[in-house]
Structure 1
Amino acid sequence: MHDVTILPTELVRLLKTDLTRLDATRLQELVLGLDYEIALLKKAKTQVDTALVKRYGAQAQAALAATGRDFGTAHITDGAVAIKAELPKKVRWDQEKLAEIAQRITATGDRVEDFIDVKLSVSETRYTAWPPALREQFAPARTVEAGKPTFTLTVKED
């Protein structure tokens, strides 16, 4: 087995230090460098995943078909390498048709929740545009939490 070092030595060293003590310019360089590396790695990962599908996809589908399945996990080999191929099922539901079905269920007197997962939400844009009296009715059902903060560092030009 080969050890593959992906992170540059300097980055490994920096990650072991207190990053809050870095000079702001150096911190900005680090952020830009990481963003670049992440984008590069995502692109590389996509290309490798595409190559895996091209190389093993048909074999995995054939292995599943041999067991009477279209989706699931197949185990194949390529020389000394064992490959676990997972071909998941992805289901999508037509929202308009589900809404029609939900109306029919309600019309018969049944509870929609017994058949369909229902998640209600309110657009924040709509909520803030409503008159105060309407917002007051919804306020008890609304919780506001802080999201993940983001920071953009830019070197100022002289």
Structure 2
Amino acid sequence: MNDLSIFPADIAEMSIAQLASLPTQQLYEVDTNIDKAITWLKGARTKVDAALEQRFGQQGREALHDTARDFGTAHFNVDGVHVKYELPKKVTWDQKKLKAIAERIVASGDAVESYIDVKLAIPEVRYTNWPPSLQQQFADARTVDAGKATFELSLDEGGV
């Protein structure tokens, strides 16, 4: 690698074309350093979020409880700092029970779509294991788009 170091502020100011034209070893270094920074930032974010929960979580829950709510947003001040505490409602549904309910709705003659959002999906692994005759029946309903490409750079033996 050459002696030029690229700092985060430099990367932010560079165009995509400028980044793409960096020497390969330098682009590798930038990519590796960004991955390390992301890993570090995720760990730091997790730790700070846990500290915020430890410091303000009980106050936030009490503020919600004081307004007869289990979920939602509460605001309070601590030592001159405004804290916005949000505790969203997270709902999950038992899929087997929903399926049984949906079958009862259909059996009674009602349209299940009036009560339940239904999204049909076929796992690609299952689809590719079907016989061609079955795949053909579903082909018109299937759209294949490219996902986001990923790149992993590594140094060749003896590189750098």
The AA in structure 2 aligned to 1:57 is G
- The Cα of 1:25 is off from its aligned counterpart by 1.3
Q: 1:150 to 1:22 in 2, by over 3 A?
A: same
CA distance in 1, matches of 2:130, 2:114: 32
- The Cα of 1:129 is off from its aligned counterpart by 1.3
Could you tell me which residue of structure 2 aligns to residue 84 of structure 1?
84
Could you tell me which residue of structure 2 aligns to residue 3 of structure 1?
none
1:30-59 per-position Cα deviation (integer Å, ceiling 9, x unaligned): 111111110110111111111111111111
- TM-score, normalised to structure 2's length? 0.90
Identity across aligned pairs (percent)? Answer: 50
- The Cα of 1:9 is off from its aligned counterpart by 7.0
Could you tell me which residue of structure 2 aligns to residue 48 of structure 1?
48
Could you tell me which residue of structure 2 aligns to residue 157 of structure 1?
157
- TM-score, normalised to structure 1's length? 0.91
Q: Which segment is superposed worse, 14-23 or 88-97?
A: 14-23
1:50-76 per-position Cα deviation (integer Å, ceiling 9, x unaligned): 111111111111111111111000001
What's the RMSD between the two structures over aligned residues? Answer: 1.4
Of 7, 11, 16, 2:8 maps to 11
Instruction: Give 5+ residue unaligned stretches, structure 1.
Output: 1-7
Taking the TM superposition and a 5 Å limit, the aligned residue runs for 1:128-147 are 128-147=128-147
Could you tell me which residue of structure 2 aligns to residue 106 of structure 1?
106
Instruction: Give 5+ residue unaligned stretches, structure 2.
Output: none
Which structure's relative contact order is higher, taking Cα pairs within 8 Å and 6+ residues apart? Answer: 2
1:138-157 per-position Cα deviation (integer Å, ceiling 9, x unaligned): 01111111100001111110
Could you tell me which residue of structure 1 aligns to residue 65 of structure 2?
65
Could you tell me which residue of structure 1 aligns to residue 37 of structure 2?
37
Taking the TM superposition and a 5 Å limit, the aligned residue runs for 1:109-124 are 109-124=109-124
- The count of aligned residue pairs is 151
CA distance in 1, matches of 2:66, 2:7: 51
- The Cα of 1:14 is off from its aligned counterpart by 3.3
The AA in structure 1 aligned to 2:35 is D
CA distance in 2, matches of 1:60, 1:15: 37
The AA in structure 2 aligned to 1:75 is H
Contact kept, 8 Å, 2:71 with 2:89, in 1: the verdict is yes
Runs of 4 or more, structure 1, over 4 Å off, are: none
The AA in structure 1 aligned to 2:26 is R
